[in-house]
Amino acid sequence: MFMRIFSDIYDLQEHLNKLRKNGKSIGFVPTMGALHNGHISLIKSSITENDITVCSIFVNPTQFNNSADLQNYPRTMNADIELLDSINCDLVFTPTVEAMYPKPETEILFNFGTIEQVMEGKDRPGHFQGVGTIVKKLFDIVEPNNAYFGKKDYQQLLIIKELTRQYNLSPNIIGCEIIRENDGLAMSSRNTRLTKHQRDEAPFIRKTMLWAKENIENYSPNNLTKEVENRINSNSEMRITYFEISEANTLIKCENWESNTDYIGFIVVEMGDVRLIDNIELF
């Protein structure tokens, strides 16, 4: 079957309703485009686990708290569509901003509790309100059985699970492992904006995270955090935004190592004006 592209919401819904009536299960991968192997692995999981896979491409303005970041976000629609076709994705949804945000706007204010108040939520005010808004709209349109998100944006994954719980939305939320370049750099659409020298240095982020994991026994959480911050800042191409060690389900910051608790180290590093995010399971 050849891949179909929809930009109109109602055409897509009509098509999906027919498929659902014929008993087809629907997997969904929402993206902002500039697709890389991280997205491809989500789409391949969806293709394996569902009859039909829908990928949306929409650079969502409401989740950018910085207008330069929105403007500079890479947009590669033609290449994305070719790539999706080559891996046998079934449907692509490419709505306009006007269609997703009809005027006058009606804003939903979400209350995600403490998982929104730390790290990306604290550093990028309004970001998760924007993510919640667009993901809820997309889920309401596509009504998927399963939806796939990468663990690189781990806090986003928890927010979307909470959104789905609060609004009884249809899909199972499936978190997929981080896909990395051979040198360890987590794949991201933003990597394409690094200069050659920055790109050569960028794997130092992963190396520092692995060092932290190996040295848990030797440091308190606070001292390990300081050590990671110092190591990152010692690289002249990098500036640490935060390194935080938090409990995996609540994102409550770890003050003392407790046994039988899963901790994740979360990092954001700026290289020039490119903001890179990664995380590592510590225990």
Catalytic residue ranges: 39
The least CB distance from residue 199 to ligand PAF, in Å, is 21
The least CB distance from residue 191 to ligand PAF, in Å, is 14
The footprint of ligand PAF on residues 135-164 (CB under 6 A) is 135, 153, 156
**How far apart are the C-alpha atoms of 114 and 58, rounded to whole Å?**
28
**How far apart are the C-alpha atoms of 56 and 5, rounded to whole Å?**
10
The least CB distance from residue 236 to ligand PAF, in Å, is 30
- In this chain, which stretch among 79-87, 107-115, 129-137, 192-200 interacts with ligand PAF, using CB under 6 A? 129-137
Judged by beta carbon, residue 31 or residue 225, the one nearer ligand PAF is: 31
Q: Is 181 exposed, middle or buried (0-12, 13-18, 19+ CB in 10 A)?
A: middle
Is residue 30 a contact point for ligand PAF (CB under 6 A)?
A: yes
Phi, psi of 258 (to 5 degrees): -110, 140
Sheet holding 239-247, edge to edge: 239-247, 263-271, 274-281
Which ranges in 62-153 belong to alpha helices (H)? 67-72, 77-86, 97-100, 114-117, 119-123, 127-142
The least CB distance from residue 63 to ligand PAF, in Å, is 6
Is residue 129 a contact point for ligand PAF (CB under 6 A)?
A: no
Residues of this chain that interact with ligand PAF (CB under 6 A) are 30-32, 60, 63, 131, 134-135, 153, 156
